[in-house]
Structure 1
Amino acid sequence: MSSFSTSSYHNSTEEQALHLLQTVFGYPAFRSQQGQIVEHVVHGGDALVLMPTGGGKSLCYQIPALIRKGVGIVVSPLIALMQDQVDALAEVGVRAAFLNSTQTFEEILNVEKKMREGDLDLVYIAPERLLTQRCLELLNIIDIALFAIDEAHCVSQWGHDFRPEYIRLSALHERFPHVPRIALTATADQQTRDEIIHRLQLENALQFVSSFDRPNIRYQIVEKANGRKQLLDFIHAQHTGDAGIVYCLSRKKVEETAEFLNENGITSLPYHAGMDMQERSRNQARFLREDGIVMCATIAFGMGIDKPDVRFVAHLDLPKSVEGYYQETGRAGRDGASANAWMAYGLQDVVQQRRMIDESEANDTFKRVQGVKLDAMLSLCETLNCRRVHILDYFGQASEPCGNCDTCLSPPTSFDGSVAAQKILSTIYRVDQRFAAGHVIDILRGIDTERVTQWRHDQLSTYGIGSDKSEAEWRALLRQLIALGLVAVDYENFSSLKLTEASRAVLRGETKVQLRQYKKAEKAVKHKRQSAKDYAEAELSMAEQTLFDKLRWWRVETARTHNVPAYVIFPDATLREIARQAPPTLIALRAISGVGDKKLESYGAEILQLIEELQTS
């Protein structure tokens, strides 16, 4: 039985679970569907849990593992983060360990011994290690409380984070049919959900789907002009000194962007799969353990990142899918305070992503699925309506306009773009569908380049008919036509533009085209942070702010001593509440969310002393 068994104090599972939530983790009540999930798994039921990042997924398996007999086995692909996850549990008094390739043989033997002797509540294991003969034989002889399959979307071959070893996890049900399994993810459309159920044999599992809404995140997509400079302006205007993540498509761009930010006074680190593993781990550790660092990364970085105070996630390149975008932006604002999801997006992004799909070595079915996912992402970028409504609709959830995204705060205008579309399509037709975007736009604008003259394209009837618009405007319009499937790009022939079957009806005037009015890229404006309803961040008074700053400095030193990330000691939200209430006693401190029994015992006296020192100074 777990060392946290509460059967002697309470009769019902519900009471046991709530007791652990309050005394171990320091939270007063379960959120959303957490309580139902915990009860279901404690009683041996299988579950598929879809809950947004920051929604408290980990408690859904941690608490059942503490109540049920045996050790909870957590399958996680996140080797680099297992140490921090185990450290966080140790801080609240949970006996946790991990098994992965970073350990010495002696360390592995020690963990295995503790598992056999029943001295662990939770063990994190990478999927490839879990399925080795050695590990399976160990699991055969111990009591297992449950299997938690984290990041379950990794099982989807159509997804953005596919891990081949996840498909083999169906073996868990076959080998251990009486052990409950809980699969968890923050991102899964219906197709991915169906694949998780099928591949993990969860046909009889209850599905718990929470709202995908993250109301504290403000979504903003801007017209790309000079992406790097726009990013710098955005950070200076809204996130000076904040922790953030910047996603780039290529390794080279990651390194160049990190260097650019450092040159402009913003502490930044690179992270991509081509780096030395030690350097990558070192940069990740710094990002997690220090305040105010901006991580520039490819999508190799981020899954499972628990840092609660990431204030912004920026994209300098278009993500491949809405799932990828949602998961990456979801790493901001895990603490519930206001955060930004910012993206710079332009014509080249569309061309580049379509080329990557066409040139991949995948089969036609996979390419078709990826094309559909990209179309959905483009639709989000080009929408005239609320971005949050668009995202939630993608995941099958209805909602109302949020009032906290760029299209709500500054509604875009649309216009009948049929004539503009005809001008572009006619020019593509008249150059025999053999030239790329830049040349077509030069003809429209009547620009006498050497190539235009050489090919005598200044003699065309469409030459100069678009001189009333800038190059940026025509690029924005062309991007929308590509997104709408009215123009195709032939990547095998110098990215030449082609007409599609759908474009013919527009040329003949049979179909109207509604387009988004071009809006020149504006310099980021500094504004007061604004959270959505239920996430309003009350201002601290001067005295409260002084205490909050003091508590953060204390936390930095304490975390350094314990060799853990600062948020593992206490997240900002808990420190902010302590600063507001300035609790005079241990009982009052214990009543604050995030302060459990173990943390009260470890840090209570120090915190009360800090409060007293400030009040008497």
Structure 2
Amino acid sequence: MDFNRITKAKQKIGITYELKPEQITALRAFMESKDIVCLLPTGFGKSIIFQLMPFLSDDPMACVLVISPLNAIMKDQVRKLCENGISACFLDITGRDGSTYTLKPALGTDIEDDDEQGDNDDDTAEDVGNIQTKVSIEDVAAGKYQLIYAHPEAFLSSREGRKILHSKILHDHVCGICIDEAHMIQEWGEDFRKDFARIQELLGIFPRVPVSLFTATASQSTKENLVKNLGLRDPLFISKNPDRPNIKYYKYDRLPSVRQEDDLDKILGDIATGLQEDRRHYPLTFIYTDLESIRYGYRFLEKISKSEPVIRVVLATVALGIGLHAPAVRKVIHFKCPTSIEKYLQETGRAGRDGLPADAILYVNKTDVRTNRPGMQNSMRQYCISTDTCLRFQLLQHLNY
């Protein structure tokens, strides 16, 4: 019976491939109204789990709330759902505005051929499913969307968000609450985006609704804190070794911070040479660094980006370490170490999501690992200063693998 329901749900959102055992286990636990903690590697397909949930319910108006940290993640997932005829929307961080995308007819339905009507202009027609449109808060509260994506601030710090949460119609049909990138509750909840630390208030409004957490990286202490702080009820832990064998790790010393531009010149100079020699075939590369270095790097690379505007190098802050699905990234470079191994694995996990070989390169100096650096965890410091040769083992050991 469970298998048949999952198969029908897959058809509903256009999935034709076989689900992985961990995905099926999570969906079956959801159907049994269990709380779930999914610790699955980057690129594994965690989002597919909560996108299937509304269609496993007997309630035709079943709705799932998805708490997510970034607009880019929500927009991308909502757009893809809408392209498969699923009613989904996302709320911005203020909770006052929401958006969706023009729906295609649901899979399996006949699509009227506009050409036969003689009023379709191929030169002006837009791709259905890619037109972003506003949604009314009233429609969201009335349960017109099967998946509602939102920042925690949208629900907890806005009058409009509260109106949605306390709508009797919506309240009667919410069948699941999912928290994507759940590790951000601890990383951001203390002093950056404090509503992440208030998510338990949201869960308290729906006391009988199962809660699902999703993340790629969480230490034992992080898992314990999440379960305790969110009040999860005997959750089922579903985990898989986060090792990505196709990613090769490297670590190099860099110059003191007072000579930072010299280091950037060397690193970016090698990249610039490669771009000039063969821009189109240069491996897609992400460089994680701070805003000051991003400005410097942009000016450096801008000199060679006047012709053939094909993006091959992305200078990024930590925001790009969450949820982005770019399969062809071949190289991730950190010009400065993150403050935790969890963050490092999240960010290096952008590489090689297509399963092909990829490199993760870390440049580090003594300033990066100083004891008074805000948020710096000792496990990351030890990784940076260690002389052990197997970097992969050190990373996985922190997560008890």
**Same structural fold, with TM-score higher than 0.5 when normalized by the shorter chain:** yes
Q: 2:395 aligns with which of 367, 391, 395?
A: 391
Q: 2:263 aligned with 1:227, yes or no?
A: yes
Other structure's SS at 1:336 match: coil
Matched, 1:217 2:247: yes
Length, aligned pairs only: 349
Equivalent residue, structure 2, for 1:587: none
Q: Structure 2: how far apart are the matches of 1:252 and 1:129?
A: 30
C-alpha displacement of 1:392 = 1.1
Q: Which residue of 2 aligns with 1:78?
A: 70
Match of 1:135 in 2: 161
How far apart in 1 are the matches of 2:178 and 2:188?
Answer: 22
Shift of 1:123: 0.9
Q: Give, as a single letter, the amino acid of the residue that structure 2 aligns with 1:233.
A: D
**Relative to total residues, which structure has the larger helix share, 1 or 2?**
1
Structure 2 partner of 1:449: none
Shift of 1:90: 1.4
> Following the alignment from structure 1 to structure 2, what is the Cα–Cα distance between the partners of residues 170 and 317?
34
Take 2:362 and 2:226, find their aligned partners in 1: how far apart are those partners? 30
Q: Of the candidates 124, 139, 147, which is equivalent to residue 122 of structure 1? A: 147
C-alpha offsets along residues 103-152 of structure 1, whole Å, 9 cap, x if unaligned? 87596983434334443211101101112454234233111021111111
Aligned to 1:7: none
Q: Find the aligned partners of 1:110 and 1:303 in 2 and give their Cα distance.
A: 26
2:199 equivalent to 1:169: yes
Which residue does the alignment assign to 1:241?
Answer: 282
Q: How far did residue 207 of structure 1 move?
A: 1.1
Counterparts of 1:167 and 1:52, CA distance in 2? 24
Contact kept? 2:189, 2:197, Cα under 8 Å: no
1:372 has 2:391 as partner: no
1:59-93 superposed Cα distances (whole Å, 9 cap, x missing partner): 11111122223111101121244222211111222
- Post-superposition Cα deviations, 1:249-288, rounded to whole Å, max 9, x if no partner, equal x3211111122223345999xxxxxxxxxxxxxxxxxxxx
Alignment partners' CA distance in 1, 2:368 and 2:243: 29
Tell me, yes or no, if structure 1 residue 182 matches structure 2 residue 212. yes
**1:439 aligned residue:** none
Q: Structure 1 342/25 Cα, relative in aligned 2: closer, same or farther at 3 Å?
A: farther
Give, in angstroms, the shift of residue 313 of structure 1: 1.1
Residue of structure 1 in register with 2:32 after alignment:
43
C-alpha spacing 1:121/1:152, structure 2 compared with 1 (3 Å):
same
User: So what's the TM-score if we normalise by structure 2?
Assistant: 0.77
Q: Is contact 1:266-1:294 (8 Å) kept?
A: no
Aligned residue number for residue 123 of structure 2: none
Q: Provide the rounded CA distance (Å) in 2 between the counterparts of 1:29 and 1:161.
A: 41
* 1:95 partnered with 2:136: no
Which structure: larger Rg?
1
Q: Distance in 2 between matches of 1:390 and 1:160?
A: 27
Aligned residues with identical type, % of pairs: 30
Change (3 A) 1:312 1:19: farther
Query: Could you tell me whether the CA contact under 8 Å between 1:99 and 1:111 is conserved in 2?
Result: no
Aligned to 2:320: 301
TM-score by length of 1: 0.52
- Larger relative contact order (Cα-Cα within 8 Å, sequence gap ≥ 6): 2
User: Mapping of 1:107-506 within 5 angstroms?
Assistant: 110-131=135-156, 132-140=158-166, 141=168, 142=170, 143-156=173-186, 163-224=193-254, 227-228=263-264, 229-233=266-270, 236=274, 240-248=281-289, 250-265=290-305, 292-345=311-364, 349-354=365-370, 356-357=372-373, 360=374, 370-379=376-385, 382-397=386-401
Structure-2 change in CA distance of 1:159 and 1:113 (3 Å): closer
Inter-partner Cα distance in structure 2 for 1:324 and 1:186: 10
Query: Residues 371 and 78 (structure 1 numbering): CA distance in 2 closer, same or farther, change over 3 Å?
Result: closer
List alignment gaps of at least 5 residues for structure 2. 101-133, 256-261
Change (3 A) 1:129 1:158: closer
- From the superposition, tell whether residues 106 and 63 of structure 1 become closer, same or farther in structure 2 (CA, over 3 Å): closer
RMSD: 3.1
Gaps of 5+ in 1: 1-11, 269-289, 361-366, 398-617
1:114–1:307 Cα change, 3 Å: farther
Q: How does 1:2-41 map to 2 (within 5 A)?
A: 12-21=1-10, 24-41=13-30
